[in-house]
Structures are given as C-alpha cells and as structure tokens.
Amino acid sequence: MQVYLKFMLLCLVWIWAFVPNLRIQFPGTPLAGSILDVPAPKFTLDNFLEGKYQLVFEDWFADRQAFKDLMIRTENTLNLTVFREISTPRKSNPIILGRDYFLFEKSYINNFNGVSEIKGDMPYPAPQSIDETCIRLGFAAKVFKKLGINFAVFFYPHKAWIMPEKLDPKWILPEGHNRAVAGYQSLLSALRKCEVPVVDGAAIFAELAAQQPNIRLYPRGGTHWTTTGACHALNGIIDVMRPQTARYLPNLSCESEAKPAAHPREMDIASLVNVWDESVFNDQIPVVKPKILGANLKEQIHYFYEGTSFSGELYDLLANTSYSAPNAPLPNVYYRRGGVPAAFNWDKDIFSNDWILLEQSQGSFVSINTMEWLEDLETNSLVYQQEVKKMTGGRH
C-alpha cells in the first residue's frame, strides 16, 4: 500500500513536470508588456553543431510553456505580497516598488541618484562636451529666432525627482541626488549662457508641489505625468515661447475634475508588473479639461516636437484646446530609435513650423536623442546650413 502511495506521489511530480508540454490552452489573461514572440528554430546541421539551434530552441521552449502567464503572475504576486518587491523579467528595465505602492522605473532612480543620466540612452559620445553641445544648440536657437520660429529645450521632470518621499530609502544613494542636482543645474546654466531657451520642468513641478502638496502630478502606477502635470508643463513651455514672438499665446487653466479610476496611460508601469491584482496601484487621478485663459487663438500653432513618450499628454492638451493642430501626415515625435520617416524633408518639415520643441529627461547631459536630431539637422537641412554660414561668415 505504501509503495502504491509513493508511486502515485511520484506520478504527481511527473505530471507537474510533463503536463506543460501538452500546451493545453489555458484560458488565462495574456501577460502585459512587449513580449517578443520567439520564432520556431530551424534545424540545420551547422546550426546544431555550433550550438545556435539549441539556444533558440530553449528560448522557444520557454516561450511556449503552458500555464506561463499563470506561473508568472503567481510568482510576481508572491514577490509583491510576501517580499514587497517587483520581479524583473529578462530584457526589461526593472520596476521598483516605492512607498504607498508607488512604482518607479529603475532608470529614473538611477537618474535621481546621479548614477546614469538619461533614460534608455547612452551618454553622448566624446569628444562632445557640454560646452560644445550647448554652442551647437545655441546656433540652432539663433537660426530659429532669425527665421521667426519659437524654439525651446524642455526638460521633463520625472516622478523620482519630484516625489522622493515615495522612494524606498534603500534605493537612494547618499550624496547621489546632490550630485544629480548639481549636474542638472550646471547644464541649465551652460544652455542659458549659449542663449538657448530652456524650460526647467523640474523647477515648475517642484514649485507646484510646494504650493499645493496634494496636487497629483504623477500617478501611482505610471511613468508619465498626469494631465494636471502635463497641463502645468505646457504652461511652462508657453511662458518660454511667449517672449520669442509677438503672437498671442495664452496660458491654459489646469482645473481638474474627479475621476473614478486611473487612465490606462497612467497605469503603464503597473500593467507591466503582471500580478493577479493590480488594484493596489490604482489611483483616483483628477483629469484636467483645460481651457484657454482668455480669448481663443486666431491661428493654430504648428509645432515640431522631438522627444519621448512624455509627449502624449502634451499632444492631447494642445489638440483638445485647439491650441494647435499637429503636423500631418508625418509624426511629430522624432524618435531616432524608431527610425526617421522616409518622407521627412529637413527643410520643409522643420522650417514650416511655429514651434520647435526638443524634449528630454532632466539630467547632466543633453540627450543623445536630441544630439542626433541636431546632427541630422546640420547635415540634411540646406536652409539651416545656409543660415549658419551667414551667421559665422562661412567659418562653420
């Protein structure tokens, strides 16, 4: 009898081990995030002898594990509830759990600590120093000013910087943030010295947070600012653009209304956590329906925007208030990583705009995204090259 019981228990172990291979269609919820579909490996003798087939096969096998979503959610829920941690899947930017279930992307904590500068980007390669990049941006500012185009470099603040009280102290490096602040201020001074119009998003948000402690500039489960934060950021941009032009550029009112649940965009990190119950990250985030303070604009703004996913809320605000109509049909956000649109005309599509806005995360360096855009402008735009030549007497 005991032998039979042992045999049954052994079968139980075997079943646990083998059943996932049957690839039973388990009615689970797909995992969130950019999960790459691993293609089926192609067997060739060469591939096998070199070990390449085996590597792809093992990845493919792991990718097709039945009950994978169930297991991953269970593991992640275990980590969250028992260990108060977020699991870090392979090939992903880690997510960090802060106080009160606030979530942060690790790269922003690194930025906060002054360890690495730019979210997802490598620092611009040497020999371009800050001074050199500022000089080049200064040229760009002068060219745009001469051609009547409003120009600004906008530094978006991020959650870790504005809400450090929500960070778990174990992620904070002593003296790290002081170094990060010093680096950021140094960059701002250098840009201003080169007469580059700068929008200091961090200062705008810090002042708001100090004046209105309950203002929700960031959601618990999202990376990006709330519509409230975006609205105030946009007002900051307008304030910098206004002195550059005689045009009427009114501010927006950032009045908000209560909302029952967080907007999906405001749960972008929380959804990547892949736990059974994401409700701990929910927020009652007020939504701004901004109105133009004063008379409406007679003519909409045409703008070119180079930056990151923080653009999303700004786009919506600009369009919803009829402040602007985005350039069509080409995308506004110039993501080098996403590839340059084939039909992009560096003269027509840049210099037909009213605003040129370069956006990046606050940090101690100008982002590589911005510098590559600038390099492309210098290389590809004949209008720009001619203007620079005129300004420098042909020396550059």
Partner 1 sequence: MAFSSLLFIFAFLPLFLVAYFMTPNAHRNLTALVGSLLFYAWGAPRFLAILLVVSWVDYSIGWKIYRSVPGTKARKRWVTFGVIINLSMLFYFKYSNFLSTEVNELSRRWAGNDWIHWGHVVMPIGISFVVFEEISYLVDIYRERSEPAKKFSTYALFLFLFPHSIAGPIFRWRDLEGQLISRRHSVDLAFDGVIRFLFGLGKKVLIADRMAAVADVVFRQAPFSMPASYAWIGIVAYSLQIYFDFSGYSDMAIGIGAILGFKFKENFNAPYLATSITDFWRRWHISLSTWMRDYLYIPLGGNQVSVKRMYLNLWIVFLLSGFWHGANWTFIAWGAYHGFWLILDRTFLGTHVFSRMPRWFNIGATWLTVMVGWVLFRSETIGYAWDYLRRLFCYDGTLAALTNAVSRGELISNRGMLAMGLGIAICVLPYFPRIALMMTDFMEGGKPTHQVPIFRFVCAFAVFVLVSLSLVTSNFSPFIYFRF
Footprint on this chain of partner 1 (rule: CB under 8 A): 2-3, 5-7, 9-10, 12-14, 16-18, 20-21, 48-51, 54, 57-58, 61-62, 65, 68, 71-72, 74-76, 78-79, 83-85, 87, 89-90, 96, 113-115, 168, 170-176, 179
CB closer to partner 1, 48 vs 248: 48
Give Cβ neighbours of residue 199 (< 8 Å, ≥ 6 apart): 152, 153, 154, 155, 233, 236, 237, 239, 240
Q: What are phi and psi of 369, to 5 degrees?
A: -55, -50
Task: Please say whether the beta carbons of 202 and 108 come within 8 A.
Answer: no
Residue 282: CB minimum distance to partner 1, A: 24
Residue 88: CB minimum distance to partner 1, A: 8
CB closer to partner 1, 137 vs 273: 273
How many CA atoms within 13 Å lie on the side-chain side of 141? Answer: 20
Q: What are phi and psi of 305, to 5 degrees?
A: -125, 120
CB closer to partner 1, 122 vs 293: 122
CB closer to partner 1, 86 vs 377: 86
Burial classification of residue 16, based on how many CB atoms lie within 10 Å of its CB (0-12 exposed, 13-18 middle, 19 or more buried): exposed
Helix (H) or strand (E) holding 232: helix 227-241
Task: Please say whether the beta carbons of 373 and 336 come within 8 A.
Answer: yes
Residue 191: CB minimum distance to partner 1, A: 25
The Cβ of residue 42 has, within 10 Å, a number of other Cβ atoms equal to 9
Burial classification of residue 327, based on how many CB atoms lie within 10 Å of its CB (0-12 exposed, 13-18 middle, 19 or more buried): middle
Angle between helical axes of 227-241 and 201-211 (0-180°, round to 10): 120
Residue 64: CB minimum distance to partner 1, A: 10
CB closer to partner 1, 91 vs 337: 91
CB closer to partner 1, 64 vs 289: 64
Q: Is the dihedral of CA 269, 253, 370, 164 positive or negative?
A: negative
How many CA atoms within 13 Å lie on the side-chain side of 82? Answer: 7
What are the CB-based long-range contacts (under 8 Å, 24+) for 232-235?
232/204, 232/205, 232/208, 233/154, 233/156, 233/199, 233/201, 233/204, 233/205, 233/314, 234/314, 234/317, 234/318, 235/204
Residue 22: CB minimum distance to partner 1, A: 11
Identify the CA nearest to 158 among candidates 121, 112, 113. 112
CB closer to partner 1, 96 vs 318: 96
Q: What are phi and psi of 107, to 5 degrees?
A: -65, -30
What is the rounded CA–CA span in Å between residue 53 and residue 369? 36
CB closer to partner 1, 17 vs 36: 17
What is the rounded CA–CA span in Å between residue 153 and residue 188? 10
How do 256-257 and 103-105 pair as beta strands? unpaired
Residue 52: CB minimum distance to partner 1, A: 11
Residue 87: CB minimum distance to partner 1, A: 6
Residue 62: CB minimum distance to partner 1, A: 5
Residue 363: CB minimum distance to partner 1, A: 16
CB closer to partner 1, 30 vs 51: 51
Residue 221: CB minimum distance to partner 1, A: 19
CB closer to partner 1, 29 vs 284: 29
What is the rounded CA–CA span in Å between residue 77 and residue 96? 14
